[in-house]
Amino acid sequence: MDLLKNRILQDGKCFEGGILKVDSFINHQMDPILMKAIGEEFARLFADCGVNKIMTIEASGIAPAIMAGYYMNLPVVFAKKKTPKTMENILMTKVRSFTKNREYEVIISKDFLTPDDRVLFIDDFLAYGNAALGILDLIRQAGATLVGMGFIIEKAFQEGRKDLEQTNVRVESLAIVDDLSAGKITLR
């Protein structure tokens, strides 16, 4: 996706510890034209996988997931990082956050993830793969099936893809960062 790659090179910023800041167009301020193109590309890549639900995790996965859901004409559900007091019937897992360096609980209602679901998981970043593996755990607890995972940006040097591919799931990333050292963004 040239539109995305050019934007990363133009507006992305490297931070210590292998963090790429893209908060002027993905993580804080958002570019709907770019997000629309991202949703369209995910829809094209996963068109023939028999997906019936898109799943993501709040907050930054919601925008690309809703755009993909729009193009695929599918419902979108997001896993929550805080449990609402009124919520019953939940599935819970724990995820280690790479950017915040702590563990947090992620939940989803059993009402919206069921054994009938064939799920496409969409998120903003693939780093070490912890968030994605947490989602896979929720999908397994629900008896649902994970058919694919789509990421806007994959940081290949953090090797999350390795663990995900061991689960035999299809992994697609729209831009792959090979290196962020010395303050320079190197895309594949």
User: With CB under 6 A, what is the number of residues at the site for ligand 5GP?
Assistant: 20
Q: Which residue has the tokens 């789509």?
A: 150
Q: Are 129 and 163 in contact (CB under 8 A)?
A: yes
The interface region with ligand 5GP, picked from 21-29, 38-46, 85-93, 161-169 by CB under 6 A, is: 21-29
Regarding 78 and contact with ligand 5GP (CB under 6 A), the answer is: no
Considering the rule CB under 6 A, would residue 130 count as an interface residue with ligand 5GP?
A: yes
**Cα separation, 143 vs 99, whole angstroms:** 30
- Choose between 69 and 129: whose C-beta lies nearer to ligand 5GP: 129
Exposed, middle or buried: residue 137 (CB in 10 Å: 0-12, 13-18, 19+)? middle
Q: Smallest distance, Å, CB 77 to ligand 5GP?
A: 16
Is residue 124 at the binding interface for ligand 5GP, with CB under 6 A as the rule? yes
Q: How far is the CB of 22 from ligand 5GP (least distance, A)?
A: 6
Q: What secondary structure letter does DSSP report for 137? A: H
Give the containing element (helix H, strand E) for 62: helix 62-72
Binding site for ligand 5GP (CB under 6 A): 19-22, 27, 60, 98-99, 123-132, 155, 160
